[in-house]
A and B are shown apart, each in its own frame.
Chain A
Amino acid sequence: MTVALYPTDVAWRPVSPRLVVVRRALALGLLTPVALGTCIVVAVLTSPVGAVGAAMLAAGSLSWLWWTIGRACRSWGYAERADDLLVRHGFVIRRLSVVPYGRMQFLDVTAGPIDRRVQIATVHLHTAAAATDARIPGLPAQEAARLRDRLAALGEARAAGL
Chain B
Amino acid sequence: MTTSAPDAPAATPAEPAALQRLHPLTPVLRGAKFFLAVLAVLSYRELPQLGVGRALIGLLAVVVVAFVLSYASWRFTWYRIDGKELQFESGVLFRRSRRVPLERVQAIDIVRPLVGRILGLAELRLEVVGQGNTEAPLAYLTEDEAHRLRARLLALAAGVHADTPEPDETVLARIPSRDLVISVLLLGQVVIGLPLLAVAAVGLLLIDIRAFLGSLPALASFALGIGSVSVRRLLVEYGFTLAESPDGLRLRHGLLETRAQTVPPGRVQAIRLVQPVLWRRRDWVRVEVDVAGYAGGDEGQAVTGALLPVAPRAIGVHLIQRVLSGVDVAAIARRPVPSRAAPLDPVQWQQLAIGLTPQVLVVFSGRLRRVIDLVPLAKVQSLRLAQGPLQRRLGLASLHVDTAGRRLATTAAHRDAAEALDLFHEISELARAERELRRRVTR
Interface residues of A (CB under 8 A from B): 1-5, 7, 83-84, 90, 92-100, 102-103, 127-134, 160-162
The 3 closest A-B pairs by CB, nearest first: A128-B404, A129-B402, A129-B381
Contact in complex: B425, A103 (CB < 8 Å): no
Please encode chain B, from 178 to 191, with 1 for each CB lying within 8 Å of some chain A CB and 0 for all others. Answer: 00000000000000
Set of chain B residues within 8 Å of A94, measured between Cβ atoms: 386-387, 392
Q: List B residues 363-389 near A (Cβ within 8 Å).
A: 379, 381-389
In Å, the complex CA distance between A131 and B401 comes to 9
In Å, the complex CA distance between A98 and B104 comes to 25
Not counting A128-B292, A131-B409, a sample of 18 additional A-B residue pairs whose C-beta atoms are within 8 angstroms of each other reads A2-B392, A2-B393, A3-B421, A5-B417, A92-B389, A93-B387, A96-B385, A97-B382, A99-B381, A100-B432, A100-B435, A127-B382, A127-B402, A129-B381, A130-B402, A132-B402, A162-B106, A162-B292
Please encode chain B, from 401 to 443, with 1 for each CB lying within 8 Å of some chain A CB and 0 for all others. Answer: 0111110010000000110110011001001100100110010
Interface residues of B (CB under 8 A from A): 104, 106, 129, 267, 269, 292, 379, 381-389, 392-395, 397, 400, 402-406, 409, 417-418, 420-421, 424-425, 428, 431-432, 435, 438-439, 442
Contact in complex: B424, A96 (CB < 8 Å): yes
Contact in complex: A129, B403 (CB < 8 Å): yes
Set of chain B residues within 8 Å of A102, measured between Cβ atoms: 435
Contact in complex: B392, A128 (CB < 8 Å): no
Closest A residue, CB atoms, query B442: A161
Min C-beta distance of A162 to chain B, whole Å:
5
Pick the most buried of A3, A83, A100: most chain B CB atoms within 10 A of its CB: A3
Closest A residue, CB atoms, query B393: A1
Contact in complex: B383, A5 (CB < 8 Å): no
In Å, the complex CA distance between A130 and B267 comes to 17
In Å, the complex CA distance between A102 and B420 comes to 23
Pick the most buried of B106, B381, B383, B392: most chain A CB atoms within 10 A of its CB: B381
10 CB < 8 A contacts A-B: A1-B395, A5-B420, A90-B386, A90-B387, A96-B385, A97-B383, A103-B382, A127-B382, A127-B402, A133-B382
Min C-beta distance of B251 to chain A, whole Å:
20
Set of chain A residues within 8 Å of B402, measured between Cβ atoms: 127, 129-132
Min C-beta distance of B84 to chain A, whole Å:
15
Pick the most buried of B387, B403, B418, B424: most chain A CB atoms within 10 A of its CB: B387
Contact in complex: A95, B392 (CB < 8 Å): no
Contact in complex: B393, A5 (CB < 8 Å): no
Q: Provided the pairs A1-B395, A95-B385 are in contact, do residues A162 and B424 lie with their beta carbons within 8 angstroms?
A: no
